[in-house]
Amino acid sequence: MISPEARAERDRLFAARKPENRPLEQSRREWEAEAGLAPLPAGVQISDVLAGGVACEWVEMPFAVPDRVLLFFHGGGYRAGSPRTHRLLAANLARETQMRVLLPDYRLAPRRRFLRV
């Protein structure tokens, strides 16, 4: 069950949403810009890496257990979102789980419908 505080925050976030009648690329840019304003937890390290030919980000805290990895596919329904929009969530997961978090920067629809391997 959601707490009253979480419900109030959820309602605040939904009330602040911009209308969806704007171009998808504009929505993506705005989400990226908003996400960039959020401060990350102290000590987090972000590094770019290729994993199987896919651009990814490692999100790591100094005390992470090296052989524990969380593979995190960001939300956005394959039409929006990126490692940058989900970096704060990944950093918090890394902190709480003491795991390194790998965030793939996978291709988004509608430009790319299917990932061909």
Any domain includes 117: no
DSSP 107: -
Token couple for 33 = 């810009």
Any domain includes 79: yes
Predicted confidence (pLDDT) at residue 115 exceeds the cutoff of 60: no
Any domain includes 99: yes
Overall average pLDDT of the 6-15 stretch: 78
Any domain includes 82: yes
Highest mean pLDDT among 34-38, 59-63, 112-116: 59-63
Q: 17 or 105: which carries more pLDDT confidence? A: 105
How many structural domains does the chain have? 1
Predicted confidence (pLDDT) at residue 79 exceeds the cutoff of 80: no
Q: Residues with Cβ < 8 Å from 46, sequence gap 6 or more?
A: 40, 57, 58, 59, 87
Any domain includes 88: yes
Any domain includes 10: yes
> Residue 48 sits in which domain range?
4-104
Residue 110 has a pLDDT of 57
